[in-house]
Amino acid sequence: MVQSKLISVNKTLKVRGKIIDLSIPKVMGILNVTPDSFYDGGLYTRESDLLKQVEKMIHDGADFIDIGGYSSRPGAEDISPDDEWARVKPAIQSIKKEFSSALLSIDTFRSQIAHQAIGEGCDLINDISAGQLDSNMFQTVSALQVPYVIMHMLGTPQTMTQFAQYDQVVQEIINYFHSILYQLNQHGIKDVLVDPGFGFAKTVDQNFELLNQLEQLHVLGKPLLIGLSRKSMVWKTLGTTPEFALNGTTSLNTVAILKGASILRVHDVKEAKETIHLLAKMKRSTQKPAV
């Protein structure tokens, strides 16, 4: 499906009063301070390791750092808000102390954690449940007036694999987001990014169908944040493991950018930035007038 020229997609994001131009895609580096995330669980629980990784991601060109203290892999343990906050609070404080200008995103579906994280210096809220797991989230985002990432997921991380049943997966995802965006508009929330939720309540085949038709989501009029990094749709298809899924991730990130992604959420910042740079070069070359 070719995107209609009548569809206007917002290509800016307002963060702490600063306008970020998304016409050239940005990169969000993943920083999980969890013991059990599917790829990097347990790697950054010590402050020295955490700061070393943040320094590397910033050096490699990360535009945002996404901090998560609750593992959302299928079947992950459900931890308490206190345990989640105990993981992310020291991480946020350490990063803001060492890298004060870094733009930080808090990856949480809990309004309490979101509110506390913004208070400690985070700039965005990244909610895998799009407000469906915490009835106070929309009110919290509205009060904080920070950008809000809404993701498509059915059920919870513990139950989502049971809900991977759709008649028309892409259209049902679009309908889901239309409903959420209407509610956000009622709360006065304008700076919204849409994440279709690759790997969340979707089979491998459904994930590829979604990626193949990703441009249809532009009908929502919001920038797309895409998270494909080392996910099972990559490594299961290639018959490998997450550790050997970087090349496959880069291939699918290329497709996502060509289909209009505004932000890539990745474990490997350098490779994502290189992908964006090369595709931007290709785009510029096609815009030059013929001699």
In total, how many domains does the chain have? 1
Distance CA 271, CA 249 (A): 9
Contact 237, 248 (CB under 8 A): yes
Residue 284 catalytic?
A: no
Is position 246 within any domain? yes
Distance CA 159, CA 119 (A): 31
The type of residue at 101 is S
Nearest to 72 by CA among 237, 231, 179, 210: 231
pLDDT tens for the chain, 291 residues: list them: 344 444 567 788 999 889 999 999 999 999 999 875 555 556 777 788 899 999 999 999 999 999 999 988 777 788 999 999 999 999 999 999 999 999 999 999 999 999 999 999 999 999 999 999 999 999 999 999 999 999 999 999 889 999 999 999 999 999 999 999 999 999 999 999 999 999 999 999 999 999 999 999 999 999 999 999 999 999 999 999 999 999 999 999 999 999 999 999 999 999 999 999 999 999 887 766 655
Distance CA 123, CA 125 (A): 7
Is position 291 within any domain? no
User: Residue 105 maps to which CATH number?
Assistant: 3.20.20.20
Contact 173, 217 (CB under 8 A): yes
Q: What is the pLDDT of residue 76?
A: 74
Q: Which domain holds residue 43?
A: 12-281
Catalytic annotation, pick one of 73, 87, 110, 231: 231
Mean pLDDT of the chain: 92
pLDDT above 70: percentage of residues in the chain = 92
End-to-end CA distance of the chain: 32
Distance CA 153, CA 137 (A): 16
Residue-by-residue DSSP string for 97-158: HH-TT--EEEE-S-HHHHHHHHHTT--EEEETTTTTT-TTHHHHHHHHT--EEEE---S-TT
Residue-by-residue DSSP string for 44-96: T-SHHHHHHHHHHHHHTT-SEEEEE-S--STT-----HHHHHHHHHHHHHHHH
Placement of tokens 């790697």 in the chain = 43
Residues whose CB falls within 8 Å of the CB of residue 174, separated by 6 or more in sequence, listed in order: 216, 217, 219, 220
Q: What is the pLDDT of residue 135?
A: 97
- For 70-88, letters b (16+ CB in 10 Å) and e give bbbbeebeebebeebbebb
Sign of CA dihedral 122, 103, 139, 225: negative
Q: What is the pLDDT of residue 231?
A: 95
Is position 289 within any domain? no
Residue 259 catalytic?
A: no
Backbone region of residue 145 per phi and psi (left: phi > 0; alpha: psi in -120 to 50; beta: other values): left
Is position 287 within any domain? no
Q: Which two tokens stand for residue 250?
A: 């880069």
pTM for this entry: 0.92
Is position 217 within any domain? yes
Catalytic annotation, pick one of 265, 270, 283, 284: 265
Is position 141 within any domain? yes
Is position 1 within any domain? no
Is position 47 within any domain? yes
